[in-house]
Structure 1
């Protein structure tokens, strides 16, 4: 296990100053920084192995293919999938979720069917199902969150029924940090003959995830939130389901044979990977998985939990702060969303930026949830492996400074 005190030295970006102050990066739910090991893996591919995969017989093509498919195996082991055929490389969570909606959804949803989602979903796990329902005449149904924003098994069971064909749910809310009981909801979905699709963008980078143990049918996540480059991601799908699905993009790598009036596709996973993929990026995703595996995902989750627990305690000492989501750190992942009375979230973020502190402000691509919370926007701090209690202290001091700045 890596020493958390030494981890920061792997992230050169954190050595800089912003507005004359040491950078305190607390926007990890949006994207994570990249350690030297991941950057080196990306640079090494372009400097030494730059070639297209699967198509060439020359040495560079062979090395690139081995590294690319090696990254796929690392992903498989990291999330507990049974076979690399179940690992589809994508551009990120959004691409994976849209692929399921456009392929599985288009073939299996019709008028009268029901698609179940929740109010807490990121737009990427909301709009694809909304649009699928509009195209097919299906009914969109919603799991109402509990008062603290969490999704309960009881509420899910009351909405999922005999007409339900798809349940699409987030594993961890990008706004509230709430952790959804995926395994129990998957069982309810399957008992009703439905498949479950999970947005794992905020889960896989921060905790141990075993897709086989959860018994999910589809699970999507992004590389850039887990130390890897942007434009990388994964869709896991059960092999039996993926084999029956049609691709939604055509050309290049996914082709088997092309005739004048018909064509055939390669086997899994390549039939869903049209065109030249993000080769270097996915190889670097493999390096990110190596890095996180060395730390240990249980250790990652514990470290973030300590920071959240400390932040929640200190924030509650400041008058005028409203915290959204459960106040029990054991019931949330490594982020805290809040508002400061009398200060717009964007103004708050601007003042904190002057102090070198990077946070997120806005609706966080979750406007239905903002409406449910009764606000237009919020501020959010989110932690990762390189953050420290000292940075939480700097953030708390920044909140106090903001109150002074606005005469509060």
Structure 2
């Protein structure tokens, strides 16, 4: 008998480089944070970042996003290190995509495409899957030439999951028809969801909101004592989960929602608004913040801007600063941190409470630190809303 052959059937991890542009509107520190987040997105999608390229420019170059010299530098690295894909931190125009791909001869993704790919992998319910496919088709529509001429040679992988891979023959007319069909399907799902919400009776509704990966699902599990999928990756959950929770003698509905993120593709925000109906319908919002993240104040602003877009900015909100166990106060010798205004947790807590006339609490959901005080605060707020809305309902109390 001849020698038996063994084949490695494991999926090869795709190796990536990241590209960002520093403009007068963004500082080097900001762009570093964006690129760290982009690296986290690549990791979430299953890739591995090997190197990051940045370039200072007044504005991204129209033809190739970065200058010709920088593109040559990227090309040399891509070829010498046999890189699989190059990921840009901003949305590329169809012509930029074509030009860069022609020059680098590898797969080119932008931030929007990468986020769509993660959403496609993580969508579970019919609603989430429909929303993701709709967003993918809307993204593909202006990029038909590039997608159709190159997808035949692609072997799948990051950025290529979803409708593009199996519908190479689809033309513009059929895509528009599909977009229309998905929009109709989402309307039907919205109607069904609205009926479900109406059937929940007079229970007060509370919705968890926050930047992606701040611990919303962990808090959901902690409060509802049920297992909602939670992991240290971006967009661990796309689908809104609703649980009935009882604290002491007060029942209410608690919903977990998809995490917000900077530079989220606008068509994704649009098509995910129905998922965020739980936010619009909520009586109280719990805005969860990862206080250990160096850019948590920017994340707060991103969430507030998204809530404003949804028409939910003025709702009663409890701000929960989570992960206090991982917060690192500045060292007395760390002049950069001190100059940037970083302070001890106690100082930050006092400053925040003095500046904002809104309930806030500092906890660690994983370490169960200050959790009982959080439960009490939530109990008081839900009870107050219920008493105000149903003054003659004494069944609960």
User: Normalising by structure 1, what TM-score?
Assistant: 0.29
**Higher relative contact order, chain-length normalized (CA < 8 Å, sep 6+):** 1
User: Normalising by structure 2, what TM-score?
Assistant: 0.29
Asked which structure has the greater CA Rg, the reply is: 2
